Amino acid sequence: MAQALARLTVWHINTTAVGGGVADLLEKTVGLHNDSGLRARWLVLTGEAPFFAVTKRLHHRLHGTPDPFGELGPADRDLYEDTTLRQAHAVLDRVAPGDLCVLHDPQTLGLAPHLAAAGLHVVWRCHIGTDTPSEVVRDTWSFLDPYLQAPARCVFSAEGYAPPALTREEGRVVILRPSIDPATRKNRPMTDMAVHQQLRTIGLEAGDRRPARSPAARTARIVQDRPLPADAPLILQVSRWDPLKDMAGVLRAFTDHIAPARPDTHLVLAGPEPSDIPDDPEGAQILGELHRAREPLDARVRGRVHLVTLSLRDAAANADSVNALQRRADVVVQKSLQEGFGLTVTEAMWKSRAIVASAVGGIPHQIRDGFEGTLVPDPHDLSAFGRAVLRLLSDPGLRARIGTAAHRRCTKDFLIYREFLEYCSLYVDVLQQTWATRNA
């Protein structure tokens, strides 16, 4: 079997090279595959805006979010199938018989029947989902059902995310929890001096910011009344500008429940430059809504709210900025309404941060309430969210204990080396099934 893996080429296929957890995950995963002697390639597919509008609806629906556009209809299916057929032809021009393709998320699932029919090994990995049944989730799985029969294995981040039709098929569902690479620029150690220097460079903190024309200074757009004081307590959420991340809810919790009790505390909401992410058409709208929500705030509160938009075009600068922000924060929050698996939560755990997060989706699989962080049962309860943050802000010893426990849990369960071994087991399983079928 080791010889079979040595001859195998694995293709990881998705629809964006930057922005969000999946792209970040694939960059490190494919690199570790190759460093370990397993030949791997990363292929990024393209599509038109109407296709990504449909797949964004699939994304929200699989999280259980009601669809304002109504049911998925024949026109949506035609658009999805026409695009994924063209994408499948592009993939088949690149791969060789016997290669293994790992398709990531609903954007790529429609390729599975075409690739399997061409004799390729096919695995589908779904990074999103909810374990709460609903009509919108069932309808979405019904839309995707024609393509679910082709992959040899379907991989999910948590047990409850797979549709019932798949869970009844013994052996087809695999649980594989995402991970981070501790050696990357985003996760490597930074001194306090380096943290503050990076935040000064992008203009968040006051100091010797580089000239606006310099490459480093152009990697961030910051909306703030005045710079963040270097010694101010800081609450941070880093995520995409996505309605399910509920950045607006974080802002309301801060203004209504945290800022009045802590006049020294600041909030940073940070995310990627929307125009850098082709498969996420909502980013600019959500960011604009946050700008408009911040503007009419009382000046004493607005001066403590900072919106940070980070370019993805300079990967090193982006990684340095996210790393510095997370290490600068006293409390990292993830107030998602739904969350398949929070990679930014794992990053904060690695950096020994105290975390307050919604008890939704995969987050309770990452942190246990009261041990590695604080979980808020109802993501819409802004008062409870505010109380949880205030408790941590007022108790440095508790923050340190929780941060230490979070780092320990991350080291044990959520590093890339564990995920790589699980990938290898998955590949062996798929190859063995193929051989068994051929020899039957």
pLDDT digits (tens, 9 = 90+) for 24-76: 889 999 999 999 999 999 999 999 999 999 999 999 999 999 998 899 999 99
Per CATH, is 2-179+416-439 categorized as 3.40.50.720? no
pLDDT digits (tens, 9 = 90+) for 184-194: 999 999 999 99
- Confidence (pLDDT) at 281: 83
Spatial distance between the Cα atoms of 256 and 386, rounded to a whole number of angstroms: 8
pLDDT digits (tens, 9 = 90+) for 290-336: 999 999 999 999 999 999 999 999 999 999 999 999 999 999 999 99
46-50, 109-113, 399-403: range with lowest mean pLDDT: 46-50
**Residue 2's beta-bridge partner residues?**
none
- Confidence (pLDDT) at 2: 62
**For residue 263, is pLDDT > 80?**
yes
The residues near 387 (Cβ < 8 Å, ≥ 6 apart) are 257
What angle in degrees, to the nearest 10, is found between the helix axes of 20-35 and 416-439? 70
The residues near 173 (Cβ < 8 Å, ≥ 6 apart) are 153, 154, 155, 156, 162, 166, 167
CA nearest neighbour of 277 among 44, 28, 91, 81: 44
CB 216 within 8 A of CB 203: no
pLDDT digits (tens, 9 = 90+) for 225-249: 999 999 999 999 999 999 999 999 9
SS3 state of residue 226: coil
pTM of this structure: 0.90
- Confidence (pLDDT) at 300: 97
- Confidence (pLDDT) at 283: 92
CA nearest neighbour of 356 among 321, 396, 384: 384
**For residue 95, is pLDDT > 90?**
yes
Name the band, by pLDDT with cuts 50, 70 and 90, for residue 286. very high
- Confidence (pLDDT) at 440: 64
Name the DSSP class of 246: -
Q: Give the β-pairing of 266-272 and 234-238.
A: parallel
The letter for the amino acid at 274 is P
- Confidence (pLDDT) at 4: 74
Q: Give the β-pairing of 305-310 and 220-223.
A: antiparallel
- Confidence (pLDDT) at 370: 96
- DSSP class per residue in 379-403: TT-HHHHHHHHHHHHT-HHHHHHHH
- Confidence (pLDDT) at 208: 63
**For residue 203, is pLDDT > 60?**
yes
User: To the nearest 10°, the Cα dihedral for 357, 363, 369, 375?
Assistant: 30
Question: Greater confidence, 217 or 140?
Answer: 140
Spatial distance between the Cα atoms of 26 and 100, rounded to a whole number of angstroms: 15
CA nearest neighbour of 114 among 75, 139, 82, 156: 82
pLDDT digits (tens, 9 = 90+) for 360-400: 999 999 999 999 999 999 999 999 999 999 999 999 999 99
- Confidence (pLDDT) at 398: 98
Mean pLDDT (whole number) for 157-163: 91
Spatial distance between the Cα atoms of 170 and 79, rounded to a whole number of angstroms: 32
* H or E stretch at 409: helix 396-413
Mean pLDDT (whole number) for 87-115: 97
| Cα dihedral sign, 388-392-395-399 | positive
Spatial distance between the Cα atoms of 415 and 409, rounded to a whole number of angstroms: 10
- Confidence (pLDDT) at 207: 80
**For residue 209, is pLDDT > 60?**
no
Average pLDDT across the chain, whole number:
94
Give domain limits for the chain: 2-179+416-439, 192-413
- Confidence (pLDDT) at 179: 94
- Confidence (pLDDT) at 21: 80
Domain spanning 192-413, CATH architecture: 3-Layer(aba) Sandwich (3.40)
The letter for the amino acid at 255 is T
Name the band, by pLDDT with cuts 50, 70 and 90, for residue 215. low
Question: Greater confidence, 88 or 213?
Answer: 88
Q: What token pair was written down for 434?
A: 């193929």
38-47, 96-105, 163-172: range with lowest mean pLDDT: 163-172
Name the DSSP class of 440: -
Q: What token pair was written down for 37?
A: 């002697």
